[in-house]
């Protein structure tokens, strides 16, 4: 499961790889659950027929999905990853899944613990080709008692027990999981897909296009 990642906050890379603009200033460059970062969704007015409206839009939301019924935002500390096997039935995610509120989370890197040495060694994982990751997620909107609208998102995860790269991470007795890293060729289709096609995109990312880097003093 991914609880720590570096969001893509470079305007040029967001424009080149995700086709979005207008990144707010002051965002953190490393995120944990409850922190706010960028996500990409289909523009809410993309289907009105106005050519001036872009297909995608960039929003900022909480890393950790806050369902509309939540009493406060602290739930985000537990809803940052959604298991693809149960996402359709879990109260925190099922509305976003049913409504096909698909999003892409732009990430420069994710972090996972490597336990092969017998202790957790934090490892920075990137795409080997140097491109940013586009992680498949779900988004939601929450209106707290103050009345201010808050957007939020969660990363979708799949089993990785047989993944040549991701099975190296987490304790040996734990199930291996990985976030869904989309091919850039699927970005448009994922953002447009209806709920009954959502699972078509939940695939493992090729192991040979992932690279892990550990702190120099912790290398095996």
pLDDT tens-digit map of 52-84: 789 999 999 999 999 999 999 999 999 999 999
Q: What is the mean pLDDT of residues 172-186?
A: 94
- Asked if the model's pLDDT at residue 117 lies above 90, the reply is no
Q: What is the spatial distance between Cα 104 and Cα 160, in angstroms, rounded to a whole number?
A: 20
DSSP output for 68-114: TT-SSGGGGGT-SEEETTTTTTSTTTHHHHHTT-EEEEEEEEEEEEE
Looking at residue 8, its pLDDT comes to 97
Q: What is the spatial distance between Cα 24 and Cα 38, in angstroms, rounded to a whole number?
A: 9
Q: What is the spatial distance between Cα 47 and Cα 40, in angstroms, rounded to a whole number?
A: 16
Q: What is the mean pLDDT of residues 41-47?
A: 91
Looking at residue 146, its pLDDT comes to 78
Proportion of the chain above pLDDT 70, given as a percent: 98
Radius of gyration of the chain (CA): 17
Q: What is the mean pLDDT of residues 157-184?
A: 93
Proportion of the chain above pLDDT 90, given as a percent: 82
Asked if 33 and 76 count as a contact pair (C-beta separation under 8 A), the reply is yes
Looking at residue 218, its pLDDT comes to 43
Least confident of 162-171, 174-183, 190-199: 162-171
Looking at residue 219, its pLDDT comes to 40
Q: What is the spatial distance between Cα 125 and Cα 148, in angstroms, rounded to a whole number?
A: 35
Q: What is the mean pLDDT of residues 2-12?
A: 96
Joined together, the tokens standing for residue 199 give: 């699972």
Query: Cα–Cα distances in Å, from 40 out to 105, 163, 192?
Result: 6, 27, 12
- Asked if the model's pLDDT at residue 97 lies above 90, the reply is yes
Which DSSP letter does residue 220 get?
A: -
Asked if 73 and 142 count as a contact pair (C-beta separation under 8 A), the reply is yes
Asked if 125 and 6 count as a contact pair (C-beta separation under 8 A), the reply is no
What is the separation, in whole angstroms, between the first and last Cα of the chain?
A: 23
> Average pLDDT of the chain?
93
């Amino acid at each position: 499961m991914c609880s720590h990642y570096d969001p893509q906050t470079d305007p040029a890379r967001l424009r080149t790889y995700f086709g979005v603009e207008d990144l707010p200033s002051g965002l953190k460059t490393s995120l944990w659950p409850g922190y706010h970062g960028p996500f990409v969704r289909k523009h809410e007015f993309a289907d009105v027929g106005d050519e001036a409206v872009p297909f995608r839009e960039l929003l900022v939301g909480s890393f950790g999905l806050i369902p509309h019924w939540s009493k406060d935002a602290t739930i985000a500390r537990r809803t940052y990853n959604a298991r693809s096997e149960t996402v359709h039935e879990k109260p925190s995610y099922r509305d976003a899944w049913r409504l096909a509120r698909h999003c892409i989370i732009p990430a420069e890197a994710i972090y996972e613990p490597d336990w092969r040495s017998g202790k957790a060694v934090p490892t920075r994982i990137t795409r080997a080709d140097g491109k940013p990751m586009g992680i498949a997620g779900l988004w939601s909107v929450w209106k707290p008692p103050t009345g201010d609208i808050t957007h939020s998102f969660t990363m979708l995860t799949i089993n990785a027990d047989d993944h040549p790269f991701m099975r190296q991470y987490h304790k040996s007795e734990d199930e291996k999981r990985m976030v869904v890293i989309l091919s850039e060729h699927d970005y448009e289709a994922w953002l447009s897909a209806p709920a009954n096609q959502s699972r078509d995109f939940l695939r493992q990312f090729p192991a040979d296009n992932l690279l892990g880097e550990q702190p120099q003093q912790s290398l095996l």
